[in-house]
Amino acid sequence: MTGKTAFETRYGFARNQVLLGNWRESPFSRWSFQNVGELVPSARVAAAPASGEAPARALDGLLGERVTLAGGPETVAALLTRSDTDGLTIMKGGKLVGDWFAPHMDFGARHIIFSISKSLTAILAGILEGEGGFDPEVPITRYLSEAAGSAYGDASVRHVLDMTVSLDFEEAYLDPESAFARYRRATLWNPGGGSESLAGFILTLQRLAEPHGQTFRYRSPNSDLLGILLERASGQRFADLMREKLWLPLGAASEASVTVDMAGTARAAGGISVTPRDLARVGEMMRQGGMADGRRIVPEAWVRDTTGTGGDTEAWQRGTMAFLFPQGRYRNKWYQTGAASGVFCGIGIHGQWLYVNPKAEVVIAKMSSQPEPVDEPLDVDMVAFFEALSRMV
């Protein structure tokens, strides 16, 4: 009888147990969320040449501090464990406060950020808009004539950016017979893919009777479509666009990646993997109004519109996520909380968060492998947790 391998000792299962059919399930996600490229084709987004990263910095005494949530007081360390946190980076006033990593995640490892990918994709749209190469107010067919006849045939780019497309589609994450499962196959995220491209799938989607622009509907194909629109407008592949316009100017220390479909189309809605430190850099750049290390990355007006002044409160209230941010709005694929502190964030399934508190000058990047794609009570706890952390650091 042989002993366990080092892999099995660390993760609790063997590598050959992680399959395309189970990579988003616990416990396999503890490894697969850091190694998506071994399961789904991915494109590289290179970092700056010879860019380095400062060593990990422990959070030390902060882990023993208590926060009071709906269920009562809990230490920071206990909450990180309960919420299946893999990696955490906290910044304050542009300076690193510290990092925390679960035993199964190394400092410097990349981790998929799921729908925070949407927020990064929208940043690329803001950059191109500032350069005069992308117009959010024109019809989608201006960039993608093939969209005529689909749900997007009479929608604008703005509808896509703000998730107000009247799209007949549901985010049924766990239903293997749904249109969402077909969508996942088109992205090569599920077994059975390769017969239909991501773009091909998106252009079969139809609309609801309600006019576009009235209701916030969280529908991921909108954001994949945005990635396609950016490629059409710029003439560049998504990964190359991200590298040139965001990753290199940002001074990212580590390579990123994005999953691609059979045609090489990027999963702009959820396929990006980055390190916690680099994700925190994105949040800090947004907190600084689009600046990083003295360089202008995104127009300030776009950042202010995205994080504080833009968005439709009524459309948000008609949607299904108002419970999380009762005074919130959604603009350019970022969440505005409506809090007096000006907090805004990016959120991804399975517990991915990029939380920015301008008043406290705090940025928190949290990467997780929560078993459920969506856990609404835990999401509410996380918002309260981040608010408490912002007061502690």
* Catalytic sites, residue numbers: 115
Instruction: Identify the three-state secondary structure at position 210.
Output: coil
Which amino acid, residue 30?
Answer: R
Residue 69, C-beta contacts closer than 8 angstroms, at least 6 positions apart = 79, 381, 384, 385
Q: Contact at 8 Å (CB) between 83 and 351?
A: yes
With CA atoms as reference, report the closest residue to 122 among 323, 332, 325, 319: 332
Instruction: Identify the three-state secondary structure at position 271.
Output: coil
Burial tier of 225 (Cβ tally within 10 Å: 0-12, 13-18, 19+): buried
Omega of the bond leading into 176 within 30 degrees of 0 (cis):
no
Q: For the CA atoms of the chain, what is the radius of gyration?
A: 20
Residue 374, C-beta contacts closer than 8 angstroms, at least 6 positions apart = 173, 349
Helices (H), 89-164: 116-130, 157-161
Nearest-angstrom CA–CA distance, 31 and 33:
6
The tokens for 111 are 């981790």
Residue 299 main-chain phi, psi, to 5 deg: -55, 135
The tokens for 96 are 């690193």
Nearest-angstrom CA–CA distance, 47 and 251:
7
The tokens for 180 are 């969402």
Residue 271, C-beta contacts closer than 8 angstroms, at least 6 positions apart = 36, 40, 42, 112, 117, 187, 258, 259, 260
